[in-house]
Structure 1
């Protein structure tokens, strides 16, 4: 008799008020959903801020095209797929990076001392591509493997408009899988991970209501597909965090410094204390756009 494995089941929100549930879900599956973290008023403020950021009203964005006062917010916003480091432009985005409910969950899965090093504002209007299978830790290496993402839905994230898909448990081995360039038109110009022991049949879509948060491990394989909806956006704010007790070798070491001592210091402390505060904080990265295949990829 042929045994047919059960189909993947869509994840449900984690009841963070029950002790241990968040931690167990995160450890077992590599992710947890925090439902309704942001209020409607907080969401509306962030959506309005998105338009101001895209218009360049809060500061320069490398790679962005200048806007005209005659253009509507809708015309301006839909040019963008993703803006990196919006917390360097907007105090509201920076405050959201430090949102108490998100920070509380982070301290429960990372530890009492937490720092952030990156934010990304996704717009993803209809027709915009997704991102191929990848692991965040491959891009942002932490010494203690504590990298954690908080993916905040600013709109309802659905299969139709390009929500995230995850491979539950793919974080457990702590293996960084190989990556390669690709020419798949469904995805942006970022490389894809491959040669891992799961298939697309094992993937689960993570649909979120606006204001909910997907918390996930830096080793978790995840991807997104294009926004195939007939209208509208899939806006989201994604922040990356790690233990403040770990060094962050995200850039080449300074001259005379070993890789073991390399420590990227363009960080924001969001909880507890920073044992490396004596090094100070540097402004190393600038807000920039992510290429979305429009006109090809600059390899």
Structure 2
């Protein structure tokens, strides 16, 4: 098992992963993936960019003779890539990631989302936000798993976090913005932190960041000095909790609504009798280059 260390604070000694996660809202697992696994993920991003795995809404595929990096530069982020990629689907239950998840969440864990980021040179970041805004878990167990496919640096747009900002368990206001540094998603604001409180999470390819759904985080544009910043980001929660995501179908009370497009990765699913319908499809996130019309 990798040595779990909050590498953003190098003077801090190694702590129990649960304690570190509860205090800071995140932890970093250095070298959790092998170099071969990272290379396979990079190649898969190229295959997606060339359209080899099927159509994705908003993506115009590259020609078949285009290399992996250039093919991946055609998009900033694809949502739900595990729907078309068996490889990315297998990484939802990666055997080095799941033990950490069960430590942080509990014995029963399900995944509900994957995102493939390929932030090429000049592409924007994402403004301050909390993932619980998008995936409102009833029991507050949302956990993001950010897998570095390249060395992530300040120059190429690594994650920045506000340590401890998850502890209030508050979803802060959000608004549209016109900041060209960021993509089209809304930004959180009116929280009791300054940008100067933020910590950059500079990690190496193969490192994995785990973070709480209430943690405020953002990324800045890729300046082009250190190449691409690719990452596979998966989201998980306790399988013992329902997921009131999106609008309930007609006739279904919000209190009983359970978004069931999920993948069980550990333990048992008490709600398995409800099935796992296919409710989502891969799509490209708008990134200002194509306009932010909603």
Taking structure 2 as the reference length, the TM-score comes to 0.94
**Cα distance in 1 between the residues matched to 2:212 and 2:116:** 19
Structure 1 CA distance for aligned equivalents of residues 12 and 210 of structure 2 = 10
Q: Residue 72 of structure 1: CA displacement?
A: 3.8
Contact kept, 8 Å, 1:126 with 1:161, in 2: the verdict is yes
Corresponding residue for 1:4? none
Match of 1:68 in 2: 63
1:191 aligned residue: 186
Alpha-carbon distance between aligned partners in 2 of 1:206 and 1:29, rounded to the nearest angstrom: 13
3-state secondary structure, aligned to 2:96: helix
Residue 97 of structure 2: SS of its match in structure 1?
helix
Cα 1:186–1:173 change in 2 (3 A) is: same
Task: Output the CA distance in 2 between the equivalents of 1:68 and 1:200.
Answer: 41
Say whether 1:280 aligns with 2:280: no
Alignment CA distance shift 1:66-1:210 (3 Å): closer
Q: Is the 8 A contact 1:12 1:33 kept in 2?
A: no
Aligned to 2:37: 42
Q: 1:219 & 1:294 partners in 2: Cα distance?
A: 29
- Counterpart Cα distance in 1 of 2:225 and 2:208: 25
Of 162-171 and 73-82, deviating more is 73-82
Match of 2:217 in 1: 222
Question: Are 1:211 and 2:206 an aligned pair?
Answer: yes
Aligned counterparts of 1:209 and 1:167: Cα–Cα separation in 2 = 20
Q: Distance in 2 between matches of 1:152 and 1:14?
A: 23
Q: CA-to-partner distance for each residue in 1:184-214, whole Å, 9 max, x for gaps?
A: 0000000000000001010000011100100
**Cα distance in 1 between the residues matched to 2:208 and 2:55:** 28
**Counterpart-to-counterpart distance in 2, 1:233 and 1:256:** 46
Aligned match of 1:247 in 242, 247, 252?
A: 242
Q: Distance in 1 between matches of 2:56 and 2:12?
A: 36
Call closer, same or farther: CA 1:240–1:280 in 2, change over 3 Å: same
Offset of residue 73 of structure 1? 3.5
Q: CA deviation at 1:222?
A: 0.1
Instruction: Indicate if the aligned counterparts of 2:121 and 2:222 stay in contact, CA closer than 8 A.
Output: yes
Contact 1:249 1:259 in 2 (8 A): yes
CA deviation profile, 1:219-262 (whole Å, cap 9, x unmatched): 00000000012362100000000000111011212222211111
Taking the aligned partners of 1:190 and 1:13, their CA distance within structure 2 comes to: 35
Where in structure 1 are there 5+ consecutive unaligned residues?
A: 1-8
The alpha carbon displacement at 1:295 in A equals: 3.5
SS in 1 for 2:18: helix
Partner of 1:169: 164
Q: Could you tell me which residue of structure 2 aligns to residue 119 of structure 1?
A: 114
Q: Deviations over 1:118-158 (max 9, x none)?
A: 00000000100000000000010001000000000000011
Shift of 1:92: 1.1
**Aligned 8 A contact 1:165 1:204 in 2:** yes
Matched, 1:266 2:261: yes
1:46-104, Cα deviation, whole Å (9 max, x unpaired): 11111111111011111111332354433322121001111111111111111111110
Comparing 72-81 and 22-31, the one that deviates more: 72-81
1:21-36 pair list within 5 angstroms:
21-36=16-31
* Secondary structure class of the residue paired with 1:23: helix
- Ranges in structure 2 where 5+ consecutive residues have no aligned partner: 1-6
Which of residues 40, 55, 75 is equivalent to 2:50?
A: 55
- Give the equivalent residue in structure 2 for 1:5: none
Work out the number of aligned pairs and report it.
288
